[in-house]
Structure 1
Amino acid sequence: MEFQDVVRRRRMVRKFTDEPVADESLRRVLRNALRGPSAGFSQGQGFLVLTGEELERFWEFGASWAPASVTTAPVAIVPLSVKNAYLDRYAKPDKGFAAGDDSWWRVPYWDVDTGMAAMLILQTAVDEGLGAVFFGLAPESVERVHSEFGVPEDHDPIGVIALGHGDEPGPTPGSSATTIRRRDFSEVIRFGHW
């Protein structure tokens, strides 16, 4: 598939068939996530992949902010941001910042880079002929992700990606994709000066 087709076709899919995701496709999706930008090549991301019984346990508490139909997805990927990897990397001699000092980071690149990895997952899903949706985790669910699945405390979930074969022909009628127009290029983009 051409890249422009991937970009045009990418949308949030909220309902899935019961067809499993091929292991080869899942691994390609995950390998591509590792190709995202990484400030200082800190590589401060982790990905918790849930299927089968683990996924069923996750859906018991993890989809409270998502439509119920999302729980039909056969795979959930939890992108995890690891701030300490960035602080450790930038304390090395070639960067020269104080160990553990995050005061100079105006933007938390550990979250930005993890978000970029999540976008690569969403785009690769399209290229694989799959559907996917990114949704947030309720604050009370974050602690359960750590305790239920042994996620280290310094790995912070930025959200969840449900992945599978989409069971929607297009945007759901009445959804924001059908009721709110996409902002025009000229409303968003400025060249040289706002």
Structure 2
Amino acid sequence: MEFREVVRRRRMVRRYGPEPVDPAVVDRMLEHAQRAPNAGFTQGWAFLVLDTPEDLARFWESTGAAPETHNAWLDGMRTAPVVIVPLASKEAYLERYAEADKGWSDRREDRWPVPYWYVDTGMAALLILQTAIDEGLGACFFGIPAQHADSFREAFDIPADHRPVGAITVGHRVRDSGSKGSPARRDRRTNVVHRGRWGTTVTP
């Protein structure tokens, strides 16, 4: 598939068919994710792959969705045969930039203009989403509620220095089903590109 077509087709899919996802395709998603740009080649990310009924049930329950809880969004998302959780390690970045080749002799967090551990892991997550489209699948990135972060960690033995940036459901897309999401209710903005200085907007 041409890259422009991957970009055009990418959308959040919230309901999936019953077919399993080929493990080789999941491996390609994770391989591509690890090619994402990352500051200092820190690679301060990790990916938790959940693809058994037991692990999937544990994921949903640990993130606040008890088996008896039902709504249109949740019932659709729970049809996904795979969930991938990208995790970011701030400690890995602070440690990497205290190494000799980076010129900082401490681990001060205030040196960072933005938290690149989240930026880089977010870019890795986007490569997972794009690979899903390229493979003819659907995927959806969504957040893990903050109030359930500890129960999620405990359920899967997540180390303290890794934090989930969200989760990604993956599966075979069911055409035109489920919630259409915010794009169905909001127009795409056309005034976000500024050339030369702010306020000189250009419509692509």
Give RMSD over aligned pairs. Answer: 1.7
| Residue 128 of structure 1: aligned partner | 135
Equivalent-residue separation in structure 1 for 2:121 and 2:72 (angstroms): 20
**Conserved? CA contact 1:171–1:178, under 8 Å:** no
Structure 1 residue ranges, 4+ long, deviating more than 6 angstroms after superposition: none
Per-residue Cα deviation, 1:88-121 (whole angstroms, up to 9, x for no partner): 1100111122332111112000000000000000
| Residue 56 of structure 2: aligned partner | 55
**Conserved? CA contact 1:63–1:71, under 8 Å:** no
| Residue 179 of structure 1: aligned partner | 185
Is 1:119 aligned to residue 126 of structure 2? yes
Whichever residue aligns with residue 57 of structure 1, its letter is R
- How much has 1:177 moved relative to structure 2? 1.6
Whichever residue aligns with residue 31 of structure 1, its letter is E
- How much has 1:169 moved relative to structure 2? 2.5
Match of 1:188 among 187, 192, 199: 192
| Residue 157 of structure 2: aligned partner | 150
* Matched-pair identity in %: 50
> Would you say how many aligned residue pairs link Structure 1 and Structure 2?
191
Equivalent-residue separation in structure 1 for 2:186 and 2:64 (angstroms): 24
Whichever residue aligns with residue 104 of structure 2, its letter is F
- How much has 1:153 moved relative to structure 2? 0.8
The 10-residue stretch of structure 1 (59-68 or 37-46) with the greater mean CA deviation from structure 2? 59-68
- Normalising by structure 1, we get a TM-score of 0.93
- How much has 1:168 moved relative to structure 2? 3.1
**Conserved? CA contact 2:142–2:166, under 8 Å:** yes
- How much has 1:151 moved relative to structure 2? 1.2
| Residue 18 of structure 2: aligned partner | 18
- How much has 1:172 moved relative to structure 2? 3.9
Equivalent-residue separation in structure 2 for 1:136 and 1:148 (angstroms): 17
Whichever residue aligns with residue 61 of structure 1, its letter is S
Secondary structure of 1:7's counterpart equals: helix
Equivalent-residue separation in structure 1 for 2:62 and 2:119 (angstroms): 26
**Conserved? CA contact 2:47–2:84, under 8 Å:** yes
- How much has 1:140 moved relative to structure 2? 2.3
Structure 2 stretches of 5 or more lacking a match? 66-70, 199-204
Secondary structure of 2:109's counterpart equals: coil
Match of 1:99 among 84, 103, 106: 106
Whichever residue aligns with residue 11 of structure 2, its letter is R
Structure 1 stretches of 5 or more lacking a match? none
The 10-residue stretch of structure 1 (73-82 or 143-152) with the greater mean CA deviation from structure 2? 143-152
| Residue 30 of structure 2: aligned partner | 30
Whichever residue aligns with residue 155 of structure 2, its letter is E
Q: Structure 1 residues 32, 141: CA separation in 2 closer, same or farther (over 3 Å shift)? A: same
**Conserved? CA contact 1:82–1:156, under 8 Å:** yes
Q: Structure 1 residues 78, 183: CA separation in 2 closer, same or farther (over 3 Å shift)? A: same
Whichever residue aligns with residue 44 of structure 1, its letter is G
- How much has 1:171 moved relative to structure 2? 7.9
- Normalising by structure 2, we get a TM-score of 0.89
Equivalent-residue separation in structure 2 for 1:7 and 1:59 (angstroms): 29
**Conserved? CA contact 2:14–2:178, under 8 Å:** no
